[in-house]
Structure 1
Amino acid sequence: MLTDAHCHLDFSQFDHDRQRVFAAAKAVGVSRFVVPGTTRERWQQVLALGERADTSVCLGLHPYFVEQHQTADIAALDQFLAEQAEVVAVGECGIDGRFSDTLETQWYYFDAQLKLAKQYALPVVVHCVQANDKVAKRLRQLALPKAGLIHAFSGSIEQATKFLDLGYKLGLGGAVTYERAKRLRRTVEALPDDAFVLETDSPDMPLSGYQGRRNEPRRVAEVCDVVATLRGQTAEQIAAQSSATAATLFGISST
């Protein structure tokens, strides 16, 4: 059975057929879903999905939406984490180096969320784009007790090792399905068996061959097939190991 360790099923793109999306994923063996938060206004929708037995949820403030965040959102997140025992991680939070004009503000919200993760002994789900080295340095300084997930990792084996040495796991998704992603594919070949989880980032990050189409959790089965081929393992081995890694990381069931 497979776990999609990162899918935004609360997003409006799924409002018209969300139950069908779950069913389609189940039909190809996806049994667990982890849904991260992105903005304070969407936390209630995320928590509502967490009422499903097969879905675990995280709450956080995503750097892509930094202009929607307010400083009061940090206090609100603190309160939610204190009251919502079902939250399995803080996130999605992090740094997106593509938006240089908001980097200072991004770091403010990222640091605040890292401190909450440490306070509540929760893992973090980290969005890290064009900032691997700086983020790894910050994570090393804070030494979070539960580490977390580096979502949508696409770096080198050297960058991967920095995160792995700190106890973090790497999220592998649609990017690995592109033949041109040679550096990432070399990294995937070299990773330890327990270093990664599989994810889709639905509705974003479409796989090769699905460009321009909404991504869905059922596609994690295809990510699994590609990872298995790259590593010379069976899809069943990759599914079992990645789901077990996700279960350990988030403290959830792997089936």
Structure 2
Amino acid sequence: MRILDSHAHLDDALFDIDRDELFESMAQSGIETAIIPGVSPEHWTKQLDVAKQYACPYGLGIHPWFCEDNPERALVQLTDKLNSAIEDPYLVAIGECGLDKIRKDNWDGQIIALEAQLTMAQQLNLPVILHVVKAHNDMLSILKRYSLPRGGVIHGFYGSSEIASEYIKLGFKLGIGGLILKTNARKLKTCVAKLPLDSFLIETDSPAMTPQNAADPRNTPLILQSIITEIANLQKKSSVLISEHAFRNSVQLFDLKLILI
């Protein structure tokens, strides 16, 4: 099986103590790479250093948690960083960006930053990595006003079948992660059981979203096989088939053909 983590913050400081060992364990487990999303100007330098050292594809963006009420300065920095990296084949997406109503004290800034990054995705012909928490109706309303030629992924999806269908109609894929391993995630499990094979990616959001009863308090890409197994059980298909489609979907969405041999 070919496996990759479509969303992992492997530049996080929690991995500073054993990042080499983690990548070795990933390789031994058949995990070929991970896509590292960007979150803010203050984090991009380290993110890009880690991506380069371990040959990981990456996105550049401003996460809603790091949006200011007036995000114009950060957006100028993002434009400059994207322009300097645009010829890099490892730059594969805009993001992580999006909307998060749990952190809605900066809601106006989130909207401004999201719409600016959707415009950048249009202009640069890149997919977007979207973070959406308690804001699916708001996000869908905004996305319907944009024509995004490469679509994107709704990372960490935890919605209903109806919401999933709306995103899929707009050309988006759904990032399915460790939440699927929660015993009480009934709505998500019901949704995932019905998803078309070409509609989802697998991800971990490492080091966040650690599954229940995990041995390591950090989440890591090493749980991907468990996610694949759970999706296979829900869809009543083989793990090999689920893995093949998830891998193919990621390669197609992020155009990874040139960097994955």
State the TM-score, normalizing by the size of structure 1: 0.95
The alignment partner of 2:110 has SS state of helix
Give the 3 Å change call, closer, same or farther, for CA 54–226 of structure 1 in structure 2: farther
**Distance (Å, rounded) in 1 between the aligned partners of 2:140 and 2:71:** 25
Equivalent residue, structure 1, for 2:116: 112
1:132-186: CA deviation from partner (whole Å, max 9, x where unpaired) = 1210111111121111010000000110011000110000001001120101000
* Secondary structure of 2:210's aligned partner: coil
Matched residue type, 1:182? R
Aligned counterpart, 2:9 = 8
Residue in 1 that maps onto 2:189: 185
Deviation of 1:54 (Å): 4.5
Task: Give the alignment partner of residue 195 of structure 1, picking from 193, 196, 199.
Answer: 199
Local SS of the residue matching 2:184: coil
Match of 1:79 in 2: 80
* 8 Å contact from structure 2 (residues 69, 107) kept in 1: no
Shift of 1:51: 2.1
How many Å apart are 1:221 and its aligned residue?
A: 1.5
- Write the distance in 1 (CA, Å) between the matches of 2:188 and 2:237: 17
Consecutive aligned runs of 4 or more in structure 1 exceeding 3 Å deviation: 67-70
Matched AA of 2:37? P
- Give 1:100 deviation, angstroms: 2.5
Q: Could you tell me how far apart the structure 2 residues matched to 1:45 and 1:53 are?
A: 12
SS in 2 for 1:214: coil
Higher deviation after alignment, 68-77 or 33-42: 68-77
Once the two structures are superposed, the pairs formed by residues 58-137 of structure 1 within 5 Å of their partners are 58-67=59-68, 70-84=71-85, 85-86=87-88, 87-137=91-141
Alpha-carbon contact 2:208-2:218 (below 8 Å) kept: yes
Deviates more, 1:62-71 or 1:86-95: 62-71
Is residue 27 of structure 1 aligned with residue 31 of structure 2?
no
Quote the Cα distance in structure 2 between the aligned partners of 1:69 and 1:215: 32
Mean Cα displacement is larger for which, 231-240 or 154-163?
231-240
Mean Cα deviation higher: 221-230 or 239-248: 221-230
Q: In structure 2, which of residues 239, 242, 245 is the aligned counterpart of residue 238 of structure 1?
A: 242
Find the aligned partners of 1:234 and 1:32 in 2 and give their Cα distance: 22
The 1:49–1:212 alpha-carbon spacing in structure 2 relative to 1, beyond 3 Å, is closer
Offset from partner CA, 1:4-47 (integer Å, 9 cap, x none): 00000011111111111111112211112100001111112222
For residues 136-151 of structure 1, the aligned pairs below 5 Å read 136-151=140-155
Q: Contact 2:38–2:62 (CA<8 Å) still a contact in 1?
A: yes
What SS is found at the alignment partner of 1:83? helix
CA distance in 2, matches of 1:52, 1:5: 18
* Counterpart-to-counterpart distance in 2, 1:165 and 1:93: 20
Q: Distance in 2 between matches of 1:38 and 1:199?
A: 17
TM-superposed CA distance for 1:224, in Å, is 1.0
Report the more deviating stretch, 215-224 or 168-177.
Answer: 215-224
> Gapped runs of 5+ residues in structure 1?
none
Residue identity matched to 1:21:
L
Select between 225-234 and 207-216 the one with higher mean Cα deviation: 207-216
**Is 1:47 paired with 2:28?**
no
Report the count of equivalent residues. Answer: 255
Deviation at 1:53, TM superposition (A): 6.4
Residues 181 and 33 (structure 1 numbering): CA distance in 2 closer, same or farther, change over 3 Å? Answer: same
Alpha-carbon deviation of 1:71? 2.1
8 Å Cα contact 1:7/1:199 also seen in 2: yes
1:247 pairs with one of 245, 251, 261: 251
Matched residue type, 1:119: Q
Alpha-carbon distance in 1 for matches of 2:154, 2:237: 23
Q: CA RMSD in A?
A: 1.7
Tell me the distance in 1 between the aligned counterparts of 2:137 and 2:33: 31
Residue ranges of structure 2 left out of the alignment (5+ in a row): none
